[in-house]
Amino acid sequence: MTPSRTPRLPGWLLALVLLLPAVVGSAPASAEDGRCGDVTVVFARGSGQRLAQRESAVFFAGLSVRLGPAVRATAYELGAATYGGARYPAVGVGVDSSDAFENLLDAGAYWTGNAGGGYRASVASGATELRTYLEQRLRDCPEERVVLGGYSQGAQVVGDALPALPRRLRDRIVFVALFGDPKLSLPEGRGVFPVACRGRSLSPWRRGNASCYTDNGVLDARSPYVPLELARRVGSWCDRDDPICTSNLGDFARSTHGTYAKPGRAVDQAVREAAAAVRDALGERGEGIDVTVGTGAPASVAAVPWPAVALVVDEYWTRPGEPVTFDASASALPPSAVAAYRWDFDGDGTTDRTTSGPSVDHVYPATFEGRARLRVGAADGAELMTSVAVHVDRSGLTRRLPAGPTAVTVRAAYGADGAVVRWRVPRGTAADGAVDAWRIHDADGRLLAHVPASARQAELATLPDRSTALLVEAVNEYGTSASELAAPRGTGSSRFAAVVPARNVTGPRKGNPKRPAEQVRASAAGAEEHLTTAPLVIAVALLLATTGAHWIWLFRALPTARGRHRRR
C-alpha cells in the first residue's frame, strides 16, 4: 500500500489504535501466539505530555501509513505500562516561557531540589523501561526490527538508554529519530571557524536547520552522543530557533520547540527515513513500503510539502583560500527529480558552475560578505532558488563571542554540600558579543547551573562533589567565553580551590585561547590575595570616612558671624 499522503486529522486516533495493545494489556508477545511482527516501534514523549500527544501521535500514524498493511508492526509508547519496575512519567518542567525554561535548566543541574531530582528520575525511569521492554520484546520476538523515537525529554531518554543496551539489541535497531534533544552533540560547531560552517565533517546524525555554530543542547552534550555503530542509523532534528537543542536562551522569544510535528516538518521527514530503513532491512518483504517524498507524484515540485530546495548548512564562515562545501542534499526534491544544479557563489546573478549532483566545493580567494545562490532546474521544467549567507574573513566568530565574567568568587553555603558563586560583568563588551546566559561547571565538566544574562550569582544547594573547583563562562548563540575559575572566599570555602586539569574543564567551545592550569591557578591565587587584603582596605576607607564626617560636623557647629546674621 502506497498512499499519496500521510493523513493529518485522524492521526491521534490512529496512534491510539496502534497503542491499544500496549495500553490495555502488557502481556509479553511470542512467536507462537502470532503477536510478533516485522518491526516494533517505540516512542518517548516530551516533558508533561500525555500519551499519544502530538509528536508521538504523528510519528506512529505516519509510520503506520508508510509501512502499509503488508508489514506487521506493533507500537509502544513509554509510560503505557510498567517494565523492569519502571514506568516513564515524562515529568513536566515547561518549555513555553522563559520562566518555565529556567525550570528546564534547573532540571538538568545537580544542585536543584525536588524539581531537578524529579526530572532526572523521570529520564532514568524512561531509560529503564525502554531497555527492559526491548529486552523482553526481542527475547520473545527475536526477528523483529526496532524503530525508536523521542521528543525533548523523551529524546534524552532514548539517547541515554542506547549505550546501556546489549549489542545484540542495538543490532536490531534500524533507525532512531530524536527531536529537540536537550543533550544534542554537534562537535563540528566548535571553534572560531567551526568546520560545520564550511559544510564539512558534519555529524552523521545531524538533521534540521540548526546553525553551523550550534554545538550542544541546553543540558550540555552527551558524549559520545550515540554508540559508534548506531551513528549512521540516528537522525537528530534540531531547529535553529529551538533553545532546547541549541542552548541559546535568546531563542525563547521565537522558540520553535513545539513545531516538529507540523505537516512537512521534522517528524514527517523522520518517518520517511525510518520507513526507508525498515524497507532496506526487510528486503523483499519491504518492497511495498512507501518512501516517496511528499504526495508521491513523480518528479513534481508541487508534491513536496517541506522545502523543495535547501542546503545542509544555511550560513557559511570561512577564511580566504579555504574550501567550503555547498550541499543541497537536505532538499526534499530528490536528485532524481533534478535536471541541473546551477551555483552562483558570489550572488551576482551569473552561474559560476553547473553540476548534476547536489554538492560542490568552492574556494573564495579573498574576503567576501554576501550570499551564494543556487538555482535548481527540476525535471518537470520548474526552477527553484535558494540562497545562503557567506562570510569570508580572518576573524570568524571572534568578535561575536561573549566576554567572560570577572571577579568570580565562591563561598560555602547550604551546609556541607552547597555554595554560592558570584561574578561581575566585564565592561565595554561589544554589542555583537552580548551575553545571553551564564553557565557554571565543576572541575569534571558537569553542568551545575545555567542562568539568564541578568543573573550575577548562582546558588548551588547541593553539589555532586563536596570539594571541587567551580568555573563560570558566558554564553551566547555563537558560543562561550573562556571559563573563569571561582576564587574561594570566606570560612569553609577553601575546599573549592581544587586544581583544574590542564584541559581547562569544558574549555572555550568557540576557540578562545585555552589557559593552562598554571595560569588558572595563578589567577585564582591573585584573586584570593585580592580578596584577603580587601577587608583591610575597606576598614581604612571607613575610618577615613568617619574621621572626615566628624571634622565636618565640628566645623559646622562652630559659630560664625555670617551664620548668626542669617539666623536673625
What pLDDT, on a 0 to 100 scale, did the predictor assign at position 173?
98
Q: What nine digits make up the cell of 59?
A: 510519528
Question: What is the pLDDT, as a whole number, of residue 94?
Answer: 54
Residue-wise pLDDT tens digits, 86-140: 999 998 875 444 444 444 544 444 333 334 567 888 999 999 999 999 999 999 9
Q: What is the pLDDT of residue 11?
A: 43
pLDDT at 209: 87
pLDDT confidence of residue 560: 38
Give 51's DSSP letter.
T
Kindly list the averaged pLDDT for each block of 10 residues, start to end, along the chain of length 568. 37 42 41 75 94 94 94 96 96 56 45 56 96 96 97 96 96 97 94 93 93 89 95 95 83 80 91 96 91 52 59 92 93 81 96 94 97 90 90 91 91 84 76 77 82 87 78 89 89 75 43 36 37 40 45 41 31
Nine-digit cell string for 310: 535547501
At residue 465, the pLDDT reads 74
Contact 317, 200 (CB under 8 A): no
- The backbone region for 417, taken as left when phi is positive above 0, alpha when psi lies in -120 to 50, beta otherwise, is alpha
Identify the pLDDT of residue 500.
55
**231-249 residue pLDDT tens:** 999 999 999 889 889 887 6
pLDDT of residue 7: 40
| Residues 359-368 pLDDT 10s | 999 999 999 9
Question: For position 498, what pLDDT does the model report?
Answer: 65
Residue 497: its pLDDT value, please? Answer: 78
Q: What is the pLDDT of residue 558?
A: 40
What sign results for the dihedral spanned by CA atoms 212, 213, 218, 224? positive
**Angle of CA points 216, 165, 163, to nearest 5°:** 25
Give which of 340, 338, 342 is closest to 379, Cα–Cα: 338
pLDDT digits (tens, 9 = 90+) for 165-217: 999 999 999 999 999 999 999 999 998 999 999 999 999 999 998 999 999 99
pLDDT given for residue 26 in this prediction? 40
Q: Mean pLDDT over all residues of the chain?
A: 78
State CA 120 to chain mean position distance.
17
Find how far residue 350's CA is from the centre of its chain. Answer: 38
